[in-house]
Amino acid sequence: MSIQAVAAKAGVSVATVSRAFNFPDKVTRSTRELVERVARELDYVPNASARTLRTQRSRALGVVLPTLLNPTFAECLQGIARAAIAGGYAIIPVTTGYQLDEEERAVHLLLAGNVDGLILVVSNPSTSAALARLRGTGTPYVLAYNRHPEHPCVTVDGEAAVADAVARLVLHGHRRIAMVSGTLAASDRAQQRYRGYRKGMADAGLKAPPLIEVPFVESAVDALAGVLQVPGRPTALVCSNDLLAIRSIRAAHLGGLAVPDDLSVIGFDGIALGEDLTPALTTIAQPNDDIGRRSVELLIQAMAGGTALQADASLLLPYFFRDGESCAAARDNAND
Amino acid sequence: MSIQAVAAKAGVSVATVSRAFNFPDKVTRSTRELVERVARELDYVPNASARTLRTQRSRALGVVLPTLLNPTFAECLQGIARAAIAGGYAIIPVTTGYQLDEEERAVHLLLAGNVDGLILVVSNPSTSAALARLRGTGTPYVLAYNRHPEHPCVTVDGEAAVADAVARLVLHGHRRIAMVSGTLAASDRAQQRYRGYRKGMADAGLKAPPLIEVPFVESAVDALAGVLQVPGRPTALVCSNDLLAIRSIRAAHLGGLAVPDDLSVIGFDGIALGEDLTPALTTIAQPNDDIGRRSVELLIQAMAGGTALQADASLLLPYFFRDGESCAAARDNAND
DNA sequence: CTGTTAGCGCATTCAT
DNA sequence: ATGAATGCGCTAACAG
């Protein structure tokens, strides 16, 4: 079903059909209605590939994400999708599973697909080969969640946020505060958050115990069990993301510790599900939806201006401390 | 960067470049290597739109899902993605937010995008206008999670599964078993599961209390609070999905009921997160990943054969009862 | 306001 | 084994 067929049946030229669709006011009202009617009768759908080939723009944005199994990114994608539709763009999401070679493959795929722009969450902007390649092509892009002085980024100040969280815990009487994180090397976010943790501890004049690094989420519960059993165990855990926080709570439970009575747990991300849990998750909430939305808006705006997005267009969005039930004041006798 | 440029720089014809990429053995070893080298130097990426236009196939599959905020569908999409890549296909996921007009829009968008096939989760196959339209086009498709005698579907027997779950609860001494569901009208899955609940109750000779229908997840906790406070309240809740189960547990907690001591809760879906919760969620686990994978395999196989997928190709995958901690035997004195 | 036509980048005949 | 030429469906000049 091509434009040709519609033109033939309507008794007009293909150019007229094209105009009727793309510039409705450049054709007579009657012609437009005729074309629309015929098109509907024929179930005509304009061919996106042909249009893209001809116009050299796809009106599609590529989105590169680590995974959709973490609700953080699912929520962000939701925001991206909404904003993209509003701006007349389709989106093509691709997940990388936190793997560098998948990042490259994703960028390659999307570039071949003629996307007009890219939104990506990379593991580390400084070392991402995919990002370097992308930059070379001149295709507009923006990073979400990442933070780097040489790239346009939309994120929150993760370092300040975690320092903040530590300060709150200290205010609640906690002294033995540990941090739980995924592999540091795998993500610049994790690194920032860890820096914030150390800063928060230093500011409070506390000695920071070693980072509890959990390489595989599957083993998180086991890994934590050990740490929570020793004498002088932490009374509070700052987790680098909400999924880790949820698993920390489980580990505590399995170890016979009640949350928050025996152990306070604070997460990072602000996934919606956290509010429905018992105990409701205390967390540093990022505006995941907004991070997506603003990324798209930045990108679309830049593409309209024809200018590639610069690093100084970066946005630092506010984060919020979401009070839940997984944190409480330290008990005086928390020396068990 | 087009095939022309590569041909020119390599001193061969465009046809040769094309062959070097698509039929490496139809070209001399030396020319192939030459072309590959030049292409790499020029950062040449074949243009997907042009290829699609020319070949009339995109090697892309459209995926229509209600939402990615429910991990069930995120997990399924993961399976779809893996299988699609393995089969040499890209995927284009689109979410509908459970809205019928969005279903239509999504199908329209994907058809315009020249997808070679579609995997969709619709609200109700019997009433879906999008599905009717799609069928008319002759584009191969398969439904996931839905179940309908006239369409190719990949899902589990939700009715039997819930009947099963009820039987287990009865075996544990429960008599006052209620079901919690989203809007029945909005999903054929919810309807099937509700049928299974009634069957299970009838088989046990029990009277089924009215369905606890929760139109908006946001109000689930409030809606449940009422039901759980009345005398003769249920001692067990069968929930139509895991997210509802999680909220039911929270509602119980807020109402002063302990799970599973005062109230047993069983979910449906088998989201991975359920295993990390405290109490770990007891649930009827669907093989979400497999539902996605098998859907893709069915589709690809049909497309290879050139035959449109028939309803009799439908797959009914096994479900599993995943034992957690949110269910326990009914207490004798559960009459509070 | 409408029609004619060229060409986007590629795969694929048909020659050689 | 390689090259020349055609057309996929569409939009954007240009002409009328």
- Residues A259-305: tens digit of each pLDDT: 999 999 999 999 999 999 999 999 999 999 999 999 999 999 999 88
8 Å CB contact between A57 and A48: no
Chain A residues with CB under 8 Å of B137 CB are 43
- What's the length of chain A? 336
Closest CA to B129 of B104, B155, B162, B97: B104
| H or E segment to which residue A101 belongs | helix A100-112
Q: Cβ neighbours of residue A232 under 8 Å, at least 6 residues apart?
A: A176, A335
What is the residue-averaged pLDDT of chain B?
Answer: 94
pLDDT score of B336 = 45
CA separation for the pair B315, B197 (Å, rounded): 22
d(Cα B288, Cα B75) in Å, to the nearest integer?
6
Confidence band (pLDDT; 50, 70, 90) for B305? Answer: confident
CA torsion, ordered B98, B109, A17, A61, to nearest 10 deg: 120
Residues sharing a CB contact under 8 Å with residue B111, sequence separation 6 or more, in sequence order: A45, B62, B134, B137, B139
**pLDDT tier at A312, thresholds 50, 70, 90:** very high
Q: B60 by DSSP, 3-state: which?
A: strand
CB A200, CB A167: distance < 8 Å: yes
Per the rule left: phi > 0, alpha: psi between -120 and 50, beta: everything else, A206 is beta
In 3D space, the residue among B322, B283, B254, B238 whose CA is nearest the CA of residue A278 turns out to be: B254
| Residue B318 one-letter amino acid | P
Say which of A75, A81, A276 has its CB closest to residue B247: A276
Strand-pair partners of B92 = B62
- pLDDT band at A335; cut points 50, 70, 90: very low
Concatenating the DSSP letter of every residue in B230-244 gives: STT--SEEEESSHHH
CB A51 within 8 A of CB A44: no
- Chain A contacts of B78, Cβ < 8 Å? 67-69, 95
Strand C: which positions are within 7 A of a protein CB? Answer: 1-5, 7-13
Looking at residue B334, its pLDDT comes to 45
- A contacts of B92 (beta carbons < 8 Å): 92
Rounded distance between C-alpha atoms, residue A269 and residue A162, angstroms: 11
The SS3 of residue B94 is: strand
Question: What is the rounded CA–CA span in Å between residue B222 and residue B248?
Answer: 10
Q: Contact at 8 Å (CB) between B295 and B117?
A: no
DSSP 8-state assignment for residue A25 = G
Confidence of residue B335 (pLDDT cuts 50, 70, 90): very low
Q: CB neighbours of B155 closer than 8 A, spacing ≥ 6?
A: B143, B144, B145, B146, B147, B286, B291, B315, B316, B317
First to last CA, chain A: 75
| Residue B334 token pair | 């559960």
Per-residue pLDDT band for B224 (boundaries 50, 70, 90) equals confident
Q: Is the pLDDT of residue B333 over 70?
A: no
Burial class (CB in 10 A: 0-12, 13-18, 19+), B246: buried
* Cα–Cα distance list, A43 to A5, A38, A110, B154 (Å): 11, 8, 29, 28
pLDDT at B331 (0 to 100): 80
Q: Which residue has the tokens 């973490």?
A: A70
- List strands edge to edge, sheet with B264-269: B212-213, B177-181, B236-239, B264-269, B282-285, B320-322
Residue B20: which H helix or E strand, with range?
A: helix B14-22
| Phi-psi domain of A308 (left: phi exceeds 0; alpha: psi -120 through 50; beta: other) | beta
pLDDT band at B106 (very low <50, low <70, confident <90, very high): very high
Q: Most B CBs within 10 Å: which of A273, A281, A326, as the mutation test of the B interface?
A: A273
A47 to B249: CB separation less than 8 angstroms, yes or no:
no
SS (H, E, C) A304-331: HHCCCCCHHHCEEECCEEECCCCCCCCC
Chain A CB contacts of B68 under 8 Å are 68, 74, 77-78
**A28 Cβ nearer than 7 Å to chain D strand:** no
Q: pLDDT tens across A59-94, in order?
A: 999 999 999 999 999 999 999 999 999 999 999 999
What pLDDT score was predicted for residue A332? Answer: 60
- Are B284 and B321 within 8 A, CB to CB? yes
Chain A residues at the B interface, defined by Cβ less than 8 Å, are: 43, 45-50, 52-53, 58, 67-69, 71, 74-75, 77-78, 81, 90, 92-93, 95, 108-109, 111-114, 133, 136-137, 221, 243, 246-247, 249-250, 253, 272-273, 276-278, 280
Predicted pLDDT of residue B223: 80
Give the residue among A289, A330, A179 at the shortest CA–CA distance from A245: A179
A110-126: per-residue pLDDT in tens? 999 999 999 999 999 99
Q: How many CB pairs under 8 A join A and B?
A: 105
Whether the CA torsion B198, B200, B205, B206 is positive or negative: it is negative
Question: Cis bond leading into A210, ω under 30°?
Answer: no
Helix (H) or strand (E) holding B142: strand B141-144
- pLDDT at residue A216 above 70? yes
**pLDDT exceeds 50 at position A336:** no
* Nearest-angstrom CA–CA distance, B284 and B158: 9
pLDDT at res. B228: 84
* B209 phi/psi in degrees, rounded to 5: -65, 165
> In this predicted structure, what is the pLDDT of residue B332?
60
Among residues B124, B133, B63, B66, which one has the least CA distance to residue B97?
B66
Torsion angle of the four alpha carbons A288, A293, A296, A301, in this order, in degrees rounded to the nearest 10: -140
Handedness of CA A244, A245, A246, A247 (dihedral sign): positive
Q: Rounded to an integer, what distance in angstroms lies between the CA atom of residue A289 and that of residue A297?
A: 12
Tokens of residue A216, six digits = 């595989």
* pLDDT at position A334 over 50: no
Can you tell me whether residue B277 is helix, strand or coil? coil
High-pLDDT (> 70) share of chain B, % = 99
Interatomic CA distance for residues A269 and B15, integer angstroms: 51
B108-137 b/e with 16+ CB inside 10 Å = b? ebbbebbbbbbbbbbbbbeebebbeebeee
Average pLDDT over chain A reads 94
Whole-angstrom Cα distance, residue B82 to residue B280?
Answer: 28
Provide mean pLDDT across the span B63-88. 97
Neighbouring C-beta atoms of residue A210, cutoff 10 Å: 8
Using CA atoms, how far apart are residues B138 and A1, in angstroms rounded to an integer?
12
Q: Do B49 and A69 touch (CB under 8 A)?
A: no
Render pLDDT for B128-149 as a digit per residue (tens, 0 to 9).
999 999 998 889 999 999 999 9
